[in-house]
Structure 1
Amino acid sequence: MSTHFTIVHRSATDFLDAAYPALHAREREANTILPYALKARSDEGNGARVVGDASVRAWWAKYSPSRSSVQTPPRFWITCWSKTSQGPVLDFALSCTEGPLGTYPLFFFSTRDDRDITTPYLSPRLSQLACQLKDCAPPQRAFSIFGPEQVIREFVAHWSALTGFIPMPNEYYAAHLSFCTRETLTPPAKPLPSGHIMRLAQDRDAQRAAILCGEFASDSPFPLDSIRSLAHARDMIRKQQLWVYECYVPTGEREIATIVAVTRNTEESATITKVYTSPSWRGNGCAERLVRHVTDHLLHMGGKTSVALYVAYPEENMAANVVYHRVGFVGLCGNSHPRVSRWLEVGFAGTDNGHW
């Protein structure tokens, strides 16, 4: 007798009705799924997102004309549940969604930390999830998968065996999910230099911010051209999700040295999703000051209990680890923390890249 089962949720409302308590209990770990689901539910409530049969068929036909009658929409969620004497308990959630720049990677959420997961627990559940996903979406849609490291490694093995799609030889991203609270946030060591300003980005900043957004994405698997970079910057500015560190140079002109984006927010948690300093301003402490300023604002003015961010492993980016550690993000620079987990993104060859 099976000890678990999966459910496909074809609307954000249905998904959140089922999974919200478990997601809310671990908002930091749900930062790649919960904020998007909340936004999607709002769209559904406003009538802004209605996927008709024709749209679904067109989406499927792009990849597999013979299967264009399948009625799973381009945006859906899959949950996996354990059967217990007290009722179903959520184990995993997987999202297949999209944003302003295109389709997102497949995102995983787990209700357990990696250290509490065993292969006998993982393997049958992720095998069933992989089969369910294959029935819901063309395999080409899974251009990358991101989530807790142990879960992703196990799922990638099942997915590759099931579909024949081979993971890219180099992992796209390996990072710690760190966080900062009011208790761990550190005060600035020095006052802000004269002529330096930290503030929310405004419409007039869009062109310069777009350049930095493009530079940030240039060495990732998901580069942005100038048109999409500008659209991305304008979207974040409109939503008040982008902060800038502005400096005045001797000529009297102003320059944006650093940007910080905070694009995934829930009731209690915010996630910094982009930190980038122009090469000409590096080594001046701009990123540390702006990250601390934004984190302080979110914790005290924004009412968040924690601010999260993903930090590439030290061997990949020691400078970023040092900056965030100085601000007060925990579990970095050799300091372990029980709630700081390892996350992994794996891409697949022969798929259609989206963006996030």
Structure 2
Amino acid sequence: MPVVSVVSQAPSSQIAKIPLDIHSTLGGDLVISVYDLPSRIPSEMLQALSREAIRTNVVLPHLEKARLREDTGEIDDNQLWITCTSKDDKGYRTPELILSCTRSELGEYPIFIAPLIPASFLTEEFLVPRLRLLMIAMNEHIQTGRVYSIFAPQLVAELFAEMWFDMKGIDHYSESYYAAKLTFCTKRTFRNRQATDAGLRGRYVLRPAVMTDLEGVAQLCFQFASESEPFILDAEGALREAQMLIVNKQVWVHELQPNPSLPPSTPSSGSQIACLVAFTRNSQTCATISKVVTSPDHRGMGCAQRLMRQVCKHLLNSGKQAVALYVAHNNVPATKVYHNVGFVGLGEADNQPIEGVERWSEIGFDRNRVQLGHW
């Protein structure tokens, strides 16, 4: 019979207090475990996460960072991980799903659910009993208002939203906050082409951002958020995000330098940040591109593709086995850019399923009844 095994330490304002050594028999061969310290997550679960580093890019990087902070005595008790593991007759355990309720410096993350098994297993019949058990644990340990959205493989997110309404009576929006394809690039798929200078006026430099770029990076962060409803930022929030990205060395910029033939009084003669690429969810083996944004004045010049190619080359040469990203289904220009750089499953001829390339959705819940975070 399945057991909900709870591992805990301290309560928080957003996560309900979890008593120690609680066991509830619910029937079946599934084990649901709740952890509020990363050090308590079993090694077999961590190994499963690492094996699926691309598909767990919304969980694993934060978990690794939280573990490093815990090792130095910095404990954030406002976070939770819930795992679903199956157990066969011989006692062999198979990690199947992990749910996270965590946050960043900018705010609370959505509820993330990442699969640890092949995509072919993710059927409604398979998922419903597992999601039901995860929700029972959530209902016990996470405040309802904290669950402002769910981000997961599409079917997982859709079933979760329906079942959460049945359990809590909180409706969800019919239109997803974000509907995208998860894709990845490796050294084998990377396309190292020569960049063109078409449309550029002057020279360009592709480099990590530094603090003197703060204003330009903040402007692009503000622009990105303004096109990412409902997760908009004010000017102060955009500045804080830009500073965080630069300090953490998680953002590169495409700088356009002045054309020497232009007189200093020419409006376009100063250096400008035309584009940025940020990678904020990075595990030991996989980096994740989380933000690509080009200034409206510099679109159509190949800046995003030029910078993306350089950033991917840097990440893959620095030891990452893969670079992951999500691209919105309706973002045709970005899809073309990423395909040209070497991200798989995005070409018109890519009709065969590729393990690790999946449709993901973020579904939001009634904002009159939840507290919106930011990611």
Paired positions, count: 331
Q: Note if 1:137 corresponds to 2:142.
A: yes
Answer with 1 or 2: which has the greater Rg: 2
Q: Note if 1:352 corresponds to 2:371.
A: yes
Moved over 6 A (4+): none
Q: Note if 1:49 corresponds to 2:75.
A: yes
Cα distance between partner residues in 1 of 2:182 and 2:252: 21
| SS across alignment from 1:299 | helix
Cα distance between partner residues in 1 of 2:191 and 2:308: 11
* Partner of residue 99 from structure 1, selected from 104, 108, 111: 104
Q: 2:18 maps to which residue?
A: none
TM value normalised by structure 2: 0.85
* Partner of residue 83 from structure 1, selected from 83, 87, 94: 87
* Partner of residue 237 from structure 1, selected from 241, 246, 251: 246
Q: 2:311 maps to which residue?
A: 294
What is the CA deviation profile of residues 282-337 of structure 1, one whole-angstrom value per residue up to 9, with x for unaligned ones?
0000000000000011111x111111110111xx1101101101111110032134
List gaps (5 residues or longer) in structure 1. 52-73
| SS across alignment from 2:41 | helix
Structure 1 residue 16, shift from structure 2 partner:
5.5
* Partner of residue 276 from structure 2, selected from 250, 256, 259: 259
8 Å CA contact 2:85, 2:95 repeated in 1:
yes
* Partner of residue 295 from structure 2, selected from 278, 290, 293: 278
Shift in alpha-carbon separation, 1:111–1:248, aligned structure 2, 3 A:
same
Structure 1 residue 86, shift from structure 2 partner:
4.4
| SS across alignment from 1:276 | strand
Cα distance between partner residues in 1 of 2:238 and 2:155: 33
Cα distance between partner residues in 2 of 1:117 and 1:98: 26
| SS across alignment from 1:207 | helix
Letter of the structure 2 residue corresponding to residue 89 of structure 1? T
| SS across alignment from 2:274 | strand
Q: How does 1:1-356 map to 2 (within 5 A)?
A: 1=1, 2-15=28-41, 17=43, 19-49=45-75, 51=77, 74-84=78-88, 85-191=90-196, 195-220=203-228, 221-249=230-258, 250=262, 251=266, 252-300=269-317, 302-313=318-329, 316-334=330-348, 335-336=350-351, 337-339=353-355, 340-349=357-366, 350-356=369-375
Letter of the structure 2 residue corresponding to residue 228 of structure 1? G
Structure 1 residue 18, shift from structure 2 partner:
5.2
Structure 1 residue 119, shift from structure 2 partner:
2.2
| SS across alignment from 2:97 | strand
List gaps (5 residues or longer) in structure 2. 2-27
Moved more, 329-338 or 76-85: 329-338
8 Å CA contact 1:114, 1:149 repeated in 2:
no
Cα distance between partner residues in 2 of 1:31 and 1:213: 21
Cα distance between partner residues in 1 of 2:364 and 2:62: 21
Letter of the structure 2 residue corresponding to residue 46 of structure 1? T
Shift in alpha-carbon separation, 1:45–1:203, aligned structure 2, 3 A:
same
TM value normalised by structure 1: 0.90
Moved more, 16-25 or 202-211: 16-25
8 Å CA contact 1:143, 1:354 repeated in 2:
yes
8 Å CA contact 1:114, 1:151 repeated in 2:
no
**Which has the larger share of helix?**
1
Shift in alpha-carbon separation, 1:106–1:16, aligned structure 2, 3 A:
farther
Letter of the structure 2 residue corresponding to residue 241 of structure 1? Q
| SS across alignment from 1:198 | strand
8 Å CA contact 2:218, 2:239 repeated in 1:
yes
Q: What CA RMSD, in Å, does the superposition of the two structures yield over aligned residues?
A: 1.5
